[in-house]
Amino acid sequence: MSRYLARFLVSRYFSSASSRPLHVCIVGSGPAGFYTADKLLKAHGEARIDIIDRLPTPFGLVRSGVAPDHPDTKNAINQFSLVAQHKRCSFYGNVKLGSDLLLSELRDLYHVVVLAYGAESDKDLGIPGERLSGIYSAREFVWWYNGHPDYSSLKPDLKRSDTAVILGQGNVALDVARILLRPTTELASTDIARHALSALEESSIRKVYLIGRRGPVQAALTAKELREVLGIKNLHVRIKETDLNVTPADEEEMKNSRARKRIYELLSKAAAAAGTSEADPDQRELHFVFFRQPDQFLESDERRGQVSGVNLEKTILESVESGKQIAVGTGEFEDLSCSMVLKAIGYKSVPINGLPFDHKKGIVPNVSGRVVSQTSGGISQNEPGLYVCGWLKRGPVGIIGTNLYCAEETVGSISEDIAEGVCTSVKAGSKGLMELLEKRNVKKVDFSGWEKIDAKEKQMGSERNKDREKLVSWEDLLAAAAS
């Protein structure tokens, strides 16, 4: 602890002694980016931070990922706005790393570059039929109903049948299930995108299956979300009682995790209650299906190229190590008909040129947030001045708050490096970035541009009794920002 204190004092001394600013660029304006900026501003009085994002709007998944019926979770935006408005911090949207500027150029302009651009791609199942129409990743579907400008024209067909299948049982799976099954009257007053609300109002989907390859003890969802679906009026939740049998390995997993235990108890209660409720033809149903893994997607005979169902293999659990069980196929199969499949099996980060990348884990290799690369001799070395935070660093797991500690760790590494004199050369910083963007005719959107978008959305929303009506196309967003 005293070593930390010594370093802290040294860096403070350097920072107050030198009036030279510390130029920092953070790529990505979601929770990871903003918590990193917040902590850097507090730790270093000489830090000047530019946060860039490829979208004209900030806040990452807080704006485009959190479900429309979870407005309280979006309160984090208020804290982030304060950071963006700090006099030593600036936000620049519509600036894309890789197209508008290169990583090497950023590293030339700034002492410290922190990559916090998350995970904008998806894990693949790698099974036959995955490219059939009607199969989407949950990420695409979420971005569609949240008005992300890249997915506004997704046009998922919700009228072909009454059944949708969701692969995965995490909170994203629950989010999409809930949006598909919630009465649209309840969604009408949220900030859901208009095109999604219209599509959902005409949707024929009444049954959603949540498929997990393991059991209820391993389900990745959390108690709050489960409690929420169990409480939705006129939504019948179906769980097979036999799926709730637990093995000694399951008991051990529950013993080590109170979250697991509480979720299992909730699912048990739900299964017992489901057994007693009567069937009603117009009701909406949510089925939890355990111990099934998808083997292939089935193609429709009447409409070639469209998905008509999923072929599932039954699984059993095998212990691989203490506290960890994996699903193993049994060779028994069954089909489940549906007209839409949403894959909620995990996000994946996107690599960029010039950046070391671990394709297996889908993250940038790092040690406590410092990016490391392999030399030709196979030795790991730190990339000076280059750091990561958030999903790009840890993989696509955790909640908004997880990034608080992630940022603390990364900023700790940055502070240590500054104290050891890693960032002493003169850099152009913000000024250099502005010149570069000007030269390349990039129409950046600063925070006041976002405030104009925000005001327009709120104004449009008030006309329809919602908090905001999102602008969903690039043209509309950029026009509002420039107005």
Partner 1 sequence: MFFHRLSRLGSRIVKELPKERYLPKCGMWSLQRSYGQYLRSSAVLQRRTRTFQEDVLSYSHKFCTSFSTASENSGKETEKINVIFVDKDGEEIHVKVPIGMNILEAAHENDIELEGACEGSLACSTCHVIVMDTEYYNKLEEPTDEENDMLDLAFGLTETSRLGCQVIAKPELDGVRLAIPSATRNFAVDGFVPKPH
Residue positions forming the annotated binding site: 32, 61, 97, 169-172, 213-214, 225, 391, 398-400
Q: How far is the CB of 413 from partner 1 (least distance, A)?
A: 11
By beta-carbon proximity to partner 1, the closer residue of 156 and 369 is: 369
Q: How far is the CB of 8 from partner 1 (least distance, A)?
A: 8
Q: Contact between 7 and partner 1 (CB under 8 A)?
A: no
> Which residues carry a binding-site annotation for FAD?
32, 61, 97, 391, 398-400
Q: Contact between 1 and partner 1 (CB under 8 A)?
A: yes
By beta-carbon proximity to partner 1, the closer residue of 127 and 259 is: 259
Q: Contact between 256 and partner 1 (CB under 8 A)?
A: yes
Distance CA 196, CA 201 (A): 8
Asked whether the beta carbons of 281 and 271 are under 8 A apart, the reply is no
- Residue 37 one-letter amino acid: A
Tokens matching residue 199? 């599509």
By beta-carbon proximity to partner 1, the closer residue of 316 and 397 is: 397
Distance CA 459, CA 471 (A): 11
Q: One symbol per residue from 185 to 224: x for binding partner 1 (CB under 8 A), - otherwise; what is it? A: -----------------------------------xxxxx
Asked whether the beta carbons of 133 and 429 are under 8 A apart, the reply is no
Distance CA 222, CA 51 (A): 31
- Sheet with 47-52: strands ordered across: 366-367, 370-374, 380-388, 112-115, 22-27, 47-52, 89-93, 445-446
Q: How far is the CB of 37 from partner 1 (least distance, A)?
A: 12
Q: How far is the CB of 145 from partner 1 (least distance, A)?
A: 17
Residue 18: closest CA among 90, 111, 82: 111
- Sheet with 340-343: strands ordered across: 135-137, 340-343, 163-167, 207-211, 284-289, 235-239
Which residues, numbered 346-405, are part of the site for partner 1 (CB under 8 A)?
396-402, 404-405
Q: Contact between 326 and partner 1 (CB under 8 A)?
A: no
By beta-carbon proximity to partner 1, the closer residue of 42 and 464 is: 42
Tokens matching residue 81? 């706005």
Asked whether the beta carbons of 252 and 217 are under 8 A apart, the reply is no
Q: Which of 3, 17, 19, 72 binds partner 1 (CB under 8 A)?
A: 72
Q: Which residues bind partner 1 (CB under 8 A)?
A: 1, 4-5, 42, 70, 72-73, 75-76, 78-79, 82, 85-87, 170-172, 220-224, 227, 256-260, 262, 396-402, 404-406, 408-409, 412
